[in-house]
Amino acid sequence: MDRPTAKVSTGSKSKNNCCVPQCSSTYRDPGLKIGKAISPYMKVCSLHFKKEDYFFPDVEASKRRLKQGCVPSQNLPKSSHERFPNAQLAKERATRAEKRHYTKMNEQSTPTPSVHQELGNPIKFEGNNQAVENLLYFKENPVIFKTFEDKAIQVNTFEEFNRITVDKLVDSDYKCNVLLGLPNLGMIDILANLIIKAFQSNSKYSLSVKQKVILTFLKLKLNLSFACLAVLFGTTSKTARLSFYNTVEILSAILKPIIRFPSKEEMLNNMPKCFTPSGLITFLSKGYGGRVSDKAIFNKENVIQKLDMNDSIMVDKGILIEKECNEHLIKLIRPPFLKKTCKQFSKADAERTASIARARVHVERAIQRIKIFKICQGTLQWLLLPYMDDIMIIIAAITNLSAPILSEDKFIT
């Protein structure tokens, strides 16, 4: 096999360019790999080889032969992104580091004068040699001679703010109601203690039980994203999400007994003047899709079975349950419909509508207490769909634990 050869640049009239980037020579040494597809027309000139790469390097010849296995090592192309060390910058950095080291050592060994204290006391040295050495040292390290003046202290307020989590900001009943929807600050501790007593705290999360309770109600009340909650509590988005899921399930199990349908005797003992029973939320169905009618939910959940004969039930106009109420001898109270043949209500219908509306106001107040939790507004995230029943139980229970909708003078007994 013929070995690659190279022509010297003197007297050559070759029109073949060197294939090495950034080289304008026209002489060649073919057959060398350069990291891309090789073509028959690619050549490497002699400017990229050392003198020792050729046979008989000291003998001048018009045509020299390369030794086998030689690799171009001279005048190699430089990448535009390649960075080369700067000797001058490296020397300056080393000098600055040495000065910082001497300054630090001096500060540790020499007490710093107090503020506004002048360096009036002369430094005493023993012997002229010692004095000369210290003067030379001070000349090389001028940082030692310090001046003192009044300066404000620069504080990294952002770093300090990161240490303050939301649970430390909720320190009053007003903030608790605005941020969490809870009636008072003590409710947080009560719920946290109930969780600790009923369930063992899961130590794999970085948040405490109290922080989990606050995070959960922040999500329910303000419907903040888990990424936002993670920032507020100084944790990760995944931890915030898993803490919410875990706490919702536990709180739902704890608060579910608060939502119960009262007995007949309890209703009579707590009979309001406008409706019964005492303005509380007494029943919650499971979650249904938006295309399901109110009548279908009423029948599916067997609400009629919770009523006794001759009881009365007040409903909105859209709930068409006359047949079910008649079959169970339940009196249906519903605002009258305006017929097409009549342009206005009769006197009896108008008075009845006004009476129902007065009672309906209190129902709307209870519904409004649920709607202040923004998680019940707008589109529900699909990630929260499996937890929606538990979420509604928590919100309804907190509504029942809040201040009564009706004052004491609104009850019959």
Which value, in Å, is the radius of gyration of the alpha carbons in the chain?
A: 43
Return the DSSP state at 63.
E
In angstroms, the CA 14 to CA 218 distance is 80
184: nearest Cα among 406, 363, 401: 401
User: Are 213 and 191 within 8 A, CB to CB?
Assistant: yes
pTM for the whole structure? 0.53
pLDDT computed for residue 5 by the predictor? 47
Question: HSE of 230 in the Cβ direction (CA atoms, 13 Å)?
Answer: 12
Q: Please identify every stretch of the chain with a pLDDT value under 70, giving residue numbers as ranges.
A: 1-17, 19-38, 79-84, 107-165, 200-205, 270-279, 407-413
DSSP labels, 311-325: -EEE--TT---HHHH
Query: What percent of the chain is helix, strand and coil (3-state, nearest 5)?
Result: 45, 5, 50
Neighbouring-strand partners of residue 313: 332
Q: Look at the block and give the residue holding tokens 């899709």.
A: 289
The H or E element spanning position 64 is strand 63-65
pLDDT computed for residue 155 by the predictor? 53
pLDDT computed for residue 4 by the predictor? 47
Q: Look at the block and give the residue holding tokens 């002489």.
A: 27
